[in-house]
């Protein structure tokens, strides 16, 4: 089938490459010329395991092309996926300017029936706005009769496992309407996704609004689980319980399950923070206060400061002359995505209190440098207090303590003798509970985890 993907970021690039892998003829559009150049020169602009191979293979086979040519992109695909960003607006609502710009472009150039797929995460009711934007452009061209249908097909892939998630989805959610155009869209989407449903049906067909809502409900639920465990972890620190023991104790109940029960130093990324905010905002638009989500957000804001608070408690308010190593900058492992990463909050706190920091991440170094420079745009001198280490051990040299923010596999079993030898003080602040407090105590390391004070010193 001929497919167009509008927006070649994390979601668009994975969607385009994977649909090409299934034999479709895919045209990827982006307005960012530099991204398109990288892709046309055989590179990929993001770090995503396995993606580079899929892109290279399908480009070579002539099934995947990248361009900034809007007219050509609209002409290409009978199915047009909108996969552009939906960042938070100032009031927390999803900023739909990119989605609506993409919609208008479709209306401006389309000739013949199109299925327009909202793949971006968009608030309930957005399909109606996309429909209106396209219809408006068609009317300007005197082509009001041209057929199209907008469907909602939210994406559930996880960065770091995106190719695998896309190729082996646990569910595909598609919302369409019951008009004749909606039925035609249903038939085309069914055909497109047929390869994913061979062994058993994974597609949940529903109305458009429910599909839009499902994406927010999923992310809100996951964020809630994280904040719930983080809040309990902070209490565990006070009452002298071990949150890891509690996690095992409750996760074994199948009604609760083990996933997403990890206490840590807060969630980040391009989705949870903005989607929680956007759903709260939608609720307010309908005169409802989503109390739970307000709390989820507050807990997460607090939790991003937890490591900083532990450092201050141990080393004092004034950190001038102190140096801290930080392992892990990306918002989670296996990605270079720094959006809303907890590391940014910790770096900010340490540096503004006078410390210097030496940071290391297995893949996010370049992106971290770019993002941290922007974070300290108000005071470039503060940015100079950050050094970017070549490897984890180099980051430790001369540091007073180590803080771990991202749970990369590479950090899970370091040579603790070398760690101790490199640090001025054998102190580790572990924001992801990677290590066992008893092992740390036996190694002579002063260890601060999250919600494990009963097993560690002085939290
Ligand atoms: P991104 O920021 O990585 O990529 C968006 C791309 O769209 C950029 O390359 C931008 O240049 C391009 N773009 C903007 N306006 C355009 C236009 N009018 N025409 C063509 N290209 C345009 O965003 P990402 O992370 O891929 O997210 C996209 C959507 O998918 C968002 O709504 C997000 O919430 C959702 N989502 C993201 C997931 C993730 O893990 N990143 C997972 C599931 C959903």
> 371-401 burial, b for 16+ CB within 10 Å, e for fewer?
bbeebbeeeeebbebbebbeebbebbeebbb
Q: What is the pLDDT of residue 145?
A: 80
Q: Are residues 186 and 228 in the same domain?
A: no
Does residue 18 lie within any of the structural domains? Answer: yes
For residue 99, which atom of ligand 1 is closest to its CA?
18
Q: Are residues 39 and 157 in the same domain?
A: yes
Residue 31 CA, ligand 1 centroid: distance in Å: 11
Domain stops at, among 174, 206, 238: 206
Q: What is the pLDDT of residue 458?
A: 47
Q: What is the pLDDT of residue 455?
A: 67
Query: d(Cα 81, Cα 349) in Å, to the nearest integer?
Result: 40
Question: Hey, what long-range contacts does 31-40 have (CB within 8 A, 24 or more apart)?
Answer: 31/68, 32/8, 32/68, 33/68, 35/8, 35/66, 36/8, 36/66, 36/67, 36/68, 39/8, 39/13, 39/66, 40/66
Q: Are residues 120 and 186 in the same domain?
A: yes
CATH number of 447's domain:
3.40.50.720
Q: Are residues 114 and 155 in the same domain?
A: yes
Residue 248: Cβ within 10 Å count: 11
Edge-to-edge strand order for the sheet containing 2-6? 64-67, 25-29, 2-6, 79-82, 114-118, 148-152, 172-175, 203-206
Query: d(Cα 223, Cα 247) in Å, to the nearest integer?
Result: 16
Q: Are residues 249 and 181 in the same domain?
A: no
Q: What is the pLDDT of residue 453?
A: 85
Residue 12 CA, ligand 1 centroid: distance in Å: 7
Please state the pTM of the whole predicted model.
0.94
Q: What is the ipTM of this complex?
A: 0.99
Q: 194 Cβ partners below 8 Å, 6+ apart?
A: none
Domain stops at, among 180, 206, 232: 206
The pairing of beta strand 64-67 with beta strand 25-29 = parallel
Q: Which of 5, 7, 119 to mutate to test the pocket of ligand 1 (most atoms within 8 A of CB)?
A: 7
Domain count, the chain: 2
Residue 13 CA, ligand 1 centroid: distance in Å: 9
> Do residues 277 and 245 lie in contact, with contact meaning Cβ atoms separated by under 8 Å?
no
Query: d(Cα 31, Cα 42) in Å, to the nearest integer?
Result: 18
Indicate which residue's Cα is closest to atom 12 of ligand 1.
7
Query: d(Cα 452, Cα 432) in Å, to the nearest integer?
Result: 11
Q: Are residues 180 and 239 in the same domain?
A: no
> Do residues 99 and 86 lie in contact, with contact meaning Cβ atoms separated by under 8 Å?
yes
Does residue 217 lie within any of the structural domains? Answer: no
263: closest CA among 292, 234, 239, 240? Answer: 234
Indicate which residue's Cα is closest to atom 9 of ligand 1.
9
Does residue 74 lie within any of the structural domains? Answer: yes
Q: Which parts of 150-271 fold into alpha helices (H)?
A: 162-167, 180-193, 208-239, 243-251
For residue 274, which atom of ligand 1 is closest to its CA?
34
Q: What is the pLDDT of residue 459?
A: 47
Q: Are residues 175 and 229 in the same domain?
A: no
**Full residue range of the structural domain in which residue 71 is found:** 2-206
Backbone angles phi, psi at 430, to 5 degrees: -110, 100
> What residues line ligand 1, using a CB cutoff of 6 Å?
6-12, 29-32, 35, 83-86, 98, 101-102, 120-121, 155, 157, 159, 270-271
* Active centre residues (catalytic): 271
Residue 402: Cβ within 10 Å count: 25
Does residue 417 lie within any of the structural domains? Answer: yes
> Do residues 327 and 410 lie in contact, with contact meaning Cβ atoms separated by under 8 Å?
no
Mind listing the pLDDT tens digit of every residue in the chain (459 residues)?
999 999 999 999 999 999 999 999 999 999 999 999 999 999 999 999 999 999 999 999 999 999 999 999 999 999 999 999 999 999 989 999 999 999 999 999 999 999 999 999 999 999 999 999 999 999 999 998 889 999 999 999 999 999 999 999 999 999 999 999 999 999 999 999 999 998 889 999 999 999 999 999 999 999 999 999 999 999 999 999 999 999 999 999 999 999 999 999 999 999 999 999 999 999 999 999 999 999 999 999 999 999 999 999 999 999 999 999 999 999 999 999 999 999 999 999 999 999 999 999 999 999 999 999 999 999 999 999 999 999 999 999 999 999 999 999 999 999 999 999 999 999 999 999 999 999 999 999 999 999 998 766 544
Q: Are residues 174 and 310 in the same domain?
A: no
Q: Are residues 304 and 375 in the same domain?
A: yes
Domain stops at, among 206, 232, 251: 206
Indicate which residue's Cα is closest to atom 15 of ligand 1.
98
Question: Hey, what long-range contacts does 50-58 have (CB within 8 A, 24 or more apart)?
Answer: 50/163, 50/164, 51/13, 51/14, 51/17, 51/162, 51/163, 54/17, 54/18, 54/20, 54/21, 54/163, 55/13, 55/17, 57/21, 58/17, 58/20, 58/21, 58/26
């Amino acid at each position: 089938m001929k497919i167009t993907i509008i927006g070649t970021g994390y979601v668009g690039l994975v969607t385009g490459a994977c649909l090409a892998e299934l034999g479709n003829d895919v045209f990827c559009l982006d307005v960012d010329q530099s991204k398109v150049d990288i892709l046309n020169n055989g590179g990929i602009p993001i770090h995503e395991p396995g993606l580079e191979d899929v892109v290279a293979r399908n480009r070579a086979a002539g099934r995947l092309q990248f361009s900034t040519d809007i007219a050509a992109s609209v002409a290409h695909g009978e199915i047009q996926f909108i996969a552009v960003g939906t960042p938070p607006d100032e009031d927390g609502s999803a900023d739909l300017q990119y989605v609506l710009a993409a919609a208008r472009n479709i209306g401006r150039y389309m000739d013949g029936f199109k299925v327009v797929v909202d793949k971006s995460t968009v608030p309930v009711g957005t399909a109606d706005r996309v429909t209106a934007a396209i219809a408006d452009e068609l009317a300007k061209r005197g082509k009001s009769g041209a057929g199209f249908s907008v469907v909602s097909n939210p994406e559930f892939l996880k960065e770091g496992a995106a190719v695998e998630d896309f190729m082996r989805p646990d569910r595909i959610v598609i919302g369409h309407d019951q008009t004749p155009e909606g039925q035609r869209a249903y038939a085309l989407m069914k055909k497109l996704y047929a390869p994913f449903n061979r062994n058993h049906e994974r597609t949940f067909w529903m109305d458009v609004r429910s599909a839009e809502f499902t994406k927010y409900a999923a992310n809100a639920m996951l964020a809630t689980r994280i904040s719930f465990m983080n809040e309990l972890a902070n209490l565990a620190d006070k009452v002298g319980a071990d949150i890891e023991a509690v996690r095992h104790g409750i996760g074994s109940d199948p009604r609760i399950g083990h996933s997403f029960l990890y206490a840590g130093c807060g969630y980040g990324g391009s989705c949870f923070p903005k989607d929680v905010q956007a759903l709260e905002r939608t609720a307010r638009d309908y005169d409802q206060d989503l109390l739970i989500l307000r709390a989820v957000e507050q807990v997460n804001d607090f939790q991003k400061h937890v490591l900083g608070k532990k450092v201050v408690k141990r080393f004092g308010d004034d950190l001038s002359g102190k140096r801290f190593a930080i392992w892990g900058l990306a918002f989670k492992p296996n990605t270079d995505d720094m959006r809303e990463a907890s590391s940014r909050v910790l770096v900010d706190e340490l540096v503004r209190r006078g410390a210097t920091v030496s940071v290391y991440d297995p893949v996010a170094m370049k992106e971290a440098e770019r993002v941290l420079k922007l974070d300290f745009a108000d005071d470039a001198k503060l940015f100079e207090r950050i050094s970017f280490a070549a490897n984890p051990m180099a980051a430790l040299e001369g540091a007073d303590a180590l803080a771990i923010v991202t749970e990369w596999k590479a950090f899970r079993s370091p040579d603790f003798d070398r760690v101790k030898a490199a640090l001025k003080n054998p102190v580790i602040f572990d924001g992801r509970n990677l290590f066992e407090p008893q092992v740390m105590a036996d190694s002579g390391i002063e260890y601060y985890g999250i919600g494990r004070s009963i097993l560690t010193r002085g939290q």
